[in-house]
Each structure stands twice: as structure tokens, then as C-alpha cells.
């Protein structure tokens, strides 16, 4: 059985110091397809050292040369995206067309980074004081670590590394150990695109690798995406050692449906956003907040559509694939047990009629869910949609703003005034108006509020450029006949 190794300094590295391996499993069959080396402290330190050594030359490589590599990478990725999508499906389980969608959204950030030169322009002021000019510049920060989750093995790393590399940093990526192969594929693509060795490195591993990154004085920044408890851990420990950290956490995304909404459109959206990728999306809708007067109709429409979904091996292009591991499937099934026991109405029970092999659940729909139930309070991260009924808009927004997560949300309405009020009042980072999964395009920035993000900087777009660079302001005077004289006062501008 093949063992996936690290990618350090432009080549595959099998480290003698690694003593542990993890299984790579195809979730559609339950069959172990390979193993992945779990990096030891020494292995991770060698990747950080490679990135550190590559930094001085890459930082001083011209913008023209850096962007030429970015353009090459974009062309190669676009030409070979099917290969990457198939790798994702074989380890994550999602449907191939959905994996292609993930690659496309990552490619958007590569395309944004191709235009990095215009984002790195500084400002210049002539004669800020007599014969004194001032200009500002932004410079790369150094070794940038990326720690990513299982659910988007290509897109989430691509939220960060195109911008980090384009701005002149070097990267150590620690992908999820559950679906690690996409990261090595991307590393090889960088090499083919002409990126110098050591600028992009991949280390596989788990907590030991993450802790090594957090403790390393050579790592300047950490971009983390994963569950809220680990995001908080990474933020607290990374900042404690002086790093710049952006740590994106979990989510519980609500979709508020007002009585004037197009209920067919809302039902389509709830099904697509609730069950797509088996609910394993940080922007999945997991709670539909239905105003009482339309709740019966809406639940009926969601149920009718959900019954038609085809569940199967993602490689055969059904509507929905399996969950990522047996343990995760069992955890999600446990939430379905708990919801039924707590008294929620089970409209569709995903525990029934699942295939014998693989880590499958069918879509589950709960109605009459209340905010005290664990199916409401917890991020389930599976194909489970909960409907909470509310008397009207005010109760709906109170519920949503009381939730500790604030990643994404959507409102479905034909009332522009209500939509505008929602946009203004809702305490969530990404808002959709009649759009169920409002993932910002590559030239805006992605990030939630509250327990969905630790730190203050969102991913990619202008905020990404800001995160991966630091500002400098230069005040200059060149000798001319007006120079000279002593003055010990604080410099003022005249
Ligand atoms: P996870 O938190 O288990 O793992 C994320 C990363 O942290 C992985 O690389 C993993 O190896 C590492 N890790 C796991 N346990 C650790 C520990 N104890 N100490 C140090 N590092 C550890 O998350 P996951 O299950 O891979 O991904 C699903 C989660 O990610 C969900 O909560 C989902 O909402 C979240 N997510 C959030 C966003 C977002 O944009 N906010 C996007 C995608 C996923």
C-alpha cells in the first residue's frame, strides 16, 4: 500500500523521524486506499527551515516574475482540474462535479493573486514637509503556515497560498490527514509552474505537526480553518508566540424564510445548501427559520424535493455522497437519535435504507426544532436540516443573533426593505439575499463573526493581502542647499 509523504524543498521527502502513519480511506467503499506519514516535530521543523531559507530570494523576486509563475499555475490548474477533482472525491467522498466547483472557487483566488501588483501599490506624498517626501509600502512577512480542514482539501488551502506566495512569502501547508493527497498534487503543480523550491512545502500530520508550527519562532503567520475549539486553540497558542493568526472556525448557518418569499425557490435553496456535499460545508444551511404562516407549506416542499435525492459513490455523480469517515457518520447518526428523543418531528430519517458499505447517511429533515435541542445548538456537519418555526421577522433575527456562530446566513424574501433591514441587523459575516451559500467572490474576502473566526482578518481579497504583508512608511529628504542647523524639537510639518 502506498504511503503519502511530505513535500519539502521541491521534492517528496520520506522522513526517518516519522514513526506514525494514518489511513487514507475511500468513504464510498470504506476501503483503505493508502497511508499518510504523520509528521514528527523534526520533520515539520525541516519544512519550516526550507521555507525560511527560500524566503530571502523569493521576497526579492520581481513582481513580474512572481506573477508569471502565478499565471502558469492558473493555466495548469485550469487544464488539469478534473484530475484534482477525482482525487478529492476518492478521499473526501463528495460528488465529482461538486469537487470541480471547489477547485473553481479556489482558482478564483489564484486569478485574484495574478493581479497582485495593483494591490501592492503604495502611496506617495511629495513635500509633506518642506523638501520632505513620504511614501508607504507593504512587504511580505516571512514563513506563512496554513492548516486546513478535511472538507475542502483544495479550495481552503487556495484561499490563502496564492495570496501568500504572490505577496512574496513562503508557505508550509499542513492539510487534513483525512484527505491529504490534493495538497501534494498542488505542490507538484507549483513546481511545474516554475515556483522555486522551498517556496511551497507540504507537511502531513496531526496535533504534533500543528503544535510544532505554533511553537516555531521561524513561522510568521498562521492561517487556520477547522472546528471552533481547534480554531480557538490555534489562535491563542499562535498569538502567544507572537504570530499573526487568522483562525476560521465552525458554523451553524440559518436561512430565514419570510411569508412573501417564493417558497419554491426557498425550498430548492434549502435542499441544495443543506444536503450538498452531505452537509460537510462550513457555509451549509443547517437551520431553516420558517415564519409560522408558511412553515407547513415550506416543510412539505423541502420534504418533497429531498425524497428525490440520489445518494451514492461521488465518482458516479449522484446528488450526494457519503460522509468522510465511519466515526463522523456515527456521530451524525447520534445527533439524529438525540433530535428524535428530544421531541423534534422527524420528517425524513436519514438512518434508514443506507447502503451496506461506505459511510453513508441519507438526508434527514427535522421540523419543530427548538433552540435547546442539541440538533440546534451543535454544529452537526452532516446531511441534517432542522426547521425552527418563529412567529415573524423579529423572533427570527433574535434567534439568529443569539447563536454563538456567525459564519453565513441567508434571507429569502421579495421585500427589499426587509432584506435591507436584515443585512443591517444580522450579526453574521457573510449574508445572502435569496442566495443560500453566499461565499464571497475572490476579490472580496471570506470570513465569519463571533465563534466562526478568531482574529480580525478574513481570507483572500484585500484582507488577505493585508494579512500576508506588513506596512512601512518612509520619510525622506535628499540633500539640497536648505539643509543644516540644529533643532531638538519634535518634528512638525511646515
Ligand atoms: P478539525 O478542527 O478537526 O481539523 C482542522 C485541522 O486542525 C486539521 O488540519 C487537523 O489535522 C487539525 N487538528 C485537529 N485536531 C487538532 C488538535 N487537537 N490540535 C491541533 N490541531 C488539530 O476540522 P475538520 O473536521 O477537519 O473540518 C471541519 C470543520 O471545519 C467544521 O467545524 C467546519 O465548520 C470547519 N470549517 C470552517 C470553515 C470556515 O470558513 N469557517 C471552512 C471549512 C471548514
Ligand 1 atom closest to Cα of residue 149: 26
**How far is it, in rounded angstroms, from Cα 244 to Cα 247?**
10
User: How sure is the predictor about 483, in pLDDT bands with cuts at 50, 70 and 90?
Assistant: low
Q: Tell me the pairing of strands 449-450 and 405-406.
A: antiparallel
Order of strands across the sheet that contains 20-26 = 3-4, 31-38, 20-26
How confident is the model at residue 1, as a pLDDT?
85
Residue range 356-385, pLDDT digits in tens: 899 999 999 999 999 999 999 999 999 999
Q: What percent of the chain has pLDDT over 70?
A: 99
Judge residue 16's burial from the number of C-beta atoms within 10 Å of its C-beta, 0-12 exposed, 13-18 middle, 19 or more buried: exposed
C-alpha cell at 201: 512545502
* Centre of ligand 1 from the C-alpha of residue 148, in Å: 7
Angle made by CA atoms 343, 348, 352, in degrees to the nearest 5 = 105
Residue range 72-97, pLDDT digits in tens: 999 999 999 999 999 999 999 999 99
**Residue 484 pLDDT exceeds 80:** no
**How far is it, in rounded angstroms, from Cα 28 to Cα 95?**
10
Pocket of ligand 1 (CB under 6 A): 147-152, 156, 174, 176-177, 206-207, 210, 225-227, 230, 248-251, 282, 379, 381, 407, 448, 452
How confident is the model at residue 348, as a pLDDT?
98
User: Is residue 6 a contact partner of residue 43, using CB atoms and an 8 Å limit?
Assistant: yes
Residue nearest to atom 43 of ligand 1 (CA): 282
* Centre of ligand 1 from the C-alpha of residue 256, in Å: 27
- Provide mean pLDDT across the span 308-331: 98
* Centre of ligand 1 from the C-alpha of residue 175, in Å: 10
Could you report the predicted ipTM of this complex, rounded to two decimals?
0.99
What would you report as the CA-atom Rg of the chain, rounded to the nearest whole angstrom?
A: 25
**How far is it, in rounded angstroms, from Cα 185 to Cα 4?**
11
**Residue 120 pLDDT exceeds 70:** yes
C-alpha cell at 346: 422527524
Q: What percent of the chain has pLDDT over 90?
A: 95
User: How sure is the predictor about 355, in pLDDT bands with cuts at 50, 70 and 90?
Assistant: confident
Sorted by sequence, the CB contacts under 8 Å of residue 53 that are 6+ apart come out as: 198
Residue range 194-215, pLDDT digits in tens: 999 999 999 999 999 999 999 9
C-alpha cell at 44: 515539520
* All domains in the chain, ordered by first residue: 3-249+452-474 (3.40.605.10), 253-433 (3.40.309.10)
How confident is the model at residue 480, as a pLDDT?
77
The closest alpha carbon to 466, from 452, 445, 494, 493, belongs to: 445
Q: What 8-state DSSP symbol labels residue 315?
A: G
**How far is it, in rounded angstroms, from Cα 159 to Cα 151?**
13
How confident is the model at residue 16, as a pLDDT?
84
Residue range 147-191, pLDDT digits in tens: 999 999 999 999 999 999 999 999 999 999 999 999 999 999 999
Ligand 1 atom closest to Cα of residue 248: 41
User: How sure is the predictor about 493, in pLDDT bands with cuts at 50, 70 and 90?
Assistant: confident
How confident is the model at residue 447, as a pLDDT?
98
Instruction: Classify the phi-psi angles of 392: left when phi > 0, otherwise alpha if psi is within -120 to 50, otherwise beta.
Output: beta
Residue nearest to atom 24 of ligand 1 (CA): 149
User: How sure is the predictor about 482, in pLDDT bands with cuts at 50, 70 and 90?
Assistant: low
Positions marked catalytic = 282
Weakest-pLDDT range from 218-222, 319-323, 350-354, 421-425? 350-354
**Residue 436 pLDDT exceeds 70:** yes
Residue nearest to atom 35 of ligand 1 (CA): 226
* Centre of ligand 1 from the C-alpha of residue 302, in Å: 30
Residue nearest to atom 6 of ligand 1 (CA): 149
Ligand 1 atom closest to Cα of residue 251: 34
- Provide mean pLDDT across the span 292-312: 98
Angle made by CA atoms 291, 294, 297, in degrees to the nearest 5 = 135
- Provide mean pLDDT across the span 252-275: 98
User: How sure is the predictor about 491, in pLDDT bands with cuts at 50, 70 and 90?
Assistant: confident
How confident is the model at residue 395, as a pLDDT?
98
Residue spans of beta strands (DSSP E) within 361-421: 364-367, 384-390, 405-406, 408-412
**Residue 481 pLDDT exceeds 90:** no
Phi (first) and psi of residue 378, to 5 degrees: -100, 150
- The secondary structure of the chain in percent helix, strand, coil, rounded to multiples of 5, reads 40, 25, 35
Per the confidence metrics, is the pTM higher than 0.95?
Answer: yes
**Residue 492 pLDDT exceeds 90:** no
- Provide mean pLDDT across the span 252-274: 98
**How far is it, in rounded angstroms, from Cα 423 to Cα 438?**
13
Ligand 1 atom closest to Cα of residue 227: 32
How confident is the model at residue 476, as a pLDDT?
96
Q: Tell me the pairing of strands 132-140 and 124-129.
A: antiparallel
How confident is the model at residue 342, as a pLDDT?
98
**How far is it, in rounded angstroms, from Cα 327 to Cα 333?**
10
* Centre of ligand 1 from the C-alpha of residue 6, in Å: 20
Indicate the top mutation candidate among 37, 94, 230, 378 to test ligand 1's pocket, ranked by most ligand atoms within 8 A of CB: 230
User: Is residue 78 a contact partner of residue 63, using CB atoms and an 8 Å limit?
Assistant: no
Ligand 1 atom closest to Cα of residue 177: 11
DSSP string, 221-287: EEEEES-HHHHHHHHHHHHHTT-EEEEE----EEEEE-TTS-HHHHHHHHHHHHHGGGG--TT-EEE
Amino acid at each position: 500500500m502506498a504511503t503519502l509523504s511530505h513535500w519539502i524543498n521541491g521534492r517528496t521527502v520520506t522522513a526517518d523521524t516519522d514513526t506514525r502513519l494514518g489511513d487514507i480511506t475511500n468513504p464510498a467503499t470504506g476501503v483503505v486506499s493508502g497511508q499518510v506519514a504523520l509528521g514528527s516535530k523534526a520533520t515539520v521543523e525541516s519544512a519550516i527551515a526550507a521555507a525560511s531559507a527560500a524566503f530571502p530570494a523569493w521576497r526579492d523576486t520581481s513582481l513580474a516574475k512572481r506573477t508569471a509563475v502565478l499565471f502558469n499555475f492558473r493555466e495548469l490548474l485550469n487544464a488539469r482540474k478534473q484530475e484534482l477533482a477525482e482525487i478529492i472525491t476518492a478521499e473526501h467522498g463528495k460528488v465529482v462535479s461538486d469537487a470541480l466547483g471547489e477547485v473553481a472557487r479556489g482558482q478564483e483566488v489564484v486569478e485574484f493573486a495574478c493581479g497582485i501588483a495593483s494591490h501592492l501599490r503604495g502611496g506617495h506624498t511629495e513635500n509633506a514637509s518642506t523638501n520632505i517626501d513620504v511614501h508607504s509600502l507593504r512587504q511580505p512577512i516571512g514563513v506563512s503556515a496554513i492548516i486546513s480542514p478535511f472538507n475542502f482539501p483544495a479550495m481552503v488551502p487556495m484561499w490563502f497560498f496564492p495570496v501568500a506566495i504572490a505577496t512574496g512569502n513562503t508557505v508550509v501547508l499542513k492539510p487534513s490527514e483525512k484527505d491529504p493527497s490534493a495538497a501534494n498534487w498542488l505542490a507538484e503543480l507549483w513546481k511545474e509552474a516554475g515556483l522555486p523550491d522551498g517556496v511551497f512545502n507540504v507537511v502531513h500530520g496531526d496535533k504534533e505537526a500543528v503544535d510544532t508550527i505554533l511553537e516555531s519562532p521561524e513561522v510568521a503567520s498562521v492561517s487556520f480553518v477547522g472546528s471552533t475549539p481547534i480554531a480557538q486553540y490555534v489562535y491563542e497558542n499562535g498569538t502567544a508566540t507572537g504570530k499573526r493568526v487568522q483562525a476560521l472556525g465552525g458554523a451553524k448557518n440559518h436561512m430565514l424564510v419570510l411569508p412573501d418569499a417564493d417558497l419554491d425557490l426557498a425550498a430548492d435553496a434549502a435542499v441544495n445548501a443543506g444536503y450538498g456535499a452531505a452537509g460537510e460545508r462550513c457555509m451549509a444551511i443547517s437551520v431553516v427559520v420558517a415564519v409560522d404562516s408558511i412553515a407547513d407549506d415550506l416543510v412539505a416542499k423541502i420534504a418533497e424535493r429531498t425524497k428525490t435525492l440520489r445518494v451514492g459513490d461521488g465518482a458516479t455523480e449522484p446528488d450526494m455522497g457519503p460522509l468522510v469517515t465511519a466515526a463522523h457518520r456515527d456521530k451524525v447518526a447520534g445527533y439524529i437519535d438525540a433530535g428524535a428523543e428530544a421531541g423534534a418531528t422527524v420528517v425524513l430519517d436519514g438512518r434508514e435504507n443506507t447502503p451496506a458499505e461506505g459511510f453513508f447517511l441519507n438526508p434527514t429533515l427535522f421540523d419543530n426544532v427548538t433552540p435547546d435541542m442539541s440538533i440546534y445548538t451543535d454544529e452537526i456537519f452532516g446531511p441534517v436540516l432542522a426547521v425552527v418555526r418563529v412567529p415573524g421577522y423579529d423572533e427570527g433575527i433574535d434567534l439568529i443573533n443569539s447563536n454563538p456562530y456567525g459564519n453565513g446566513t441567508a434571507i429569502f424574501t421579495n421585500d427589499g426593505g426587509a432584506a435591507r433591514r436584515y443585512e443591517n441587523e444580522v450579526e453574521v459575516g457573510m449574508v445572502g439575499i435569496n442566495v443560500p451559500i453566499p461565499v464571497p467572490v475572490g476579490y472580496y474576502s471570506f470570513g465569519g463573526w463571533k465563534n466562526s473566526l478568531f482574529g480580525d482578518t478574513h481570507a483572500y481579497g484585500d484582507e488577505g493581502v493585508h494579512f500576508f504583508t506588513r506596512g512601512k512608511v518612509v520619510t525622506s529628504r535628499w540633500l539640497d542647499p536648505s539643509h543644516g542647523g540644529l533643532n531638538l524639537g519634535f518634528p512638525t510639518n511646515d
